[in-house]
Amino acid sequence: MEYRPWVGALNVHAQGFCFCVYEIWLKIFEKQAFEREILELSDGGEIALDWLVQPNTAKPFESKRNIIVLVPGVNGDSTKPYVLSVT
């Protein structure tokens, strides 16, 4: 299959610019609500789980929906554009 880039991003400079515009768009207009749950590990460490809160769901943790686990990396979190774009 041949790769065909989006017509607005035909080179790397345009792709970088489009990503910056998209990142600003997400920060201004796409406000996602997360509910944080912190798990304490046996060695004293902590893991933070951010659950996306759906506005139509009264009890988000009792839902029988599928769960997707996104691991953003060492210095990423649930506010990064590449994580928000999946939600």
Q: pLDDT grade, residue 53 (50/70/90)?
A: confident
- Which pTM does this prediction carry? 0.50
Considering the domain architecture, whether residues 5 and 24 belong to the same structural domain is answered as yes
pLDDT for residue 42 is more than 90: yes
For residue 21, give its domain range: 1-31
Q: pLDDT grade, residue 40 (50/70/90)?
A: very high
Please give the residue that has the higher pLDDT: either 19 or 42: 42
Considering the domain architecture, whether residues 37 and 23 belong to the same structural domain is answered as no
Considering the domain architecture, whether residues 27 and 52 belong to the same structural domain is answered as no
- 34 bridge partner residues: 52
Please give the Cα distance from 53 to 76 (Å, whole number).
20
Domain count, the chain: 2
Amino acid found at 37: E
pLDDT for residue 49 is more than 80: yes
Considering the domain architecture, whether residues 46 and 87 belong to the same structural domain is answered as yes
Structure tokens at 63: 């839902």
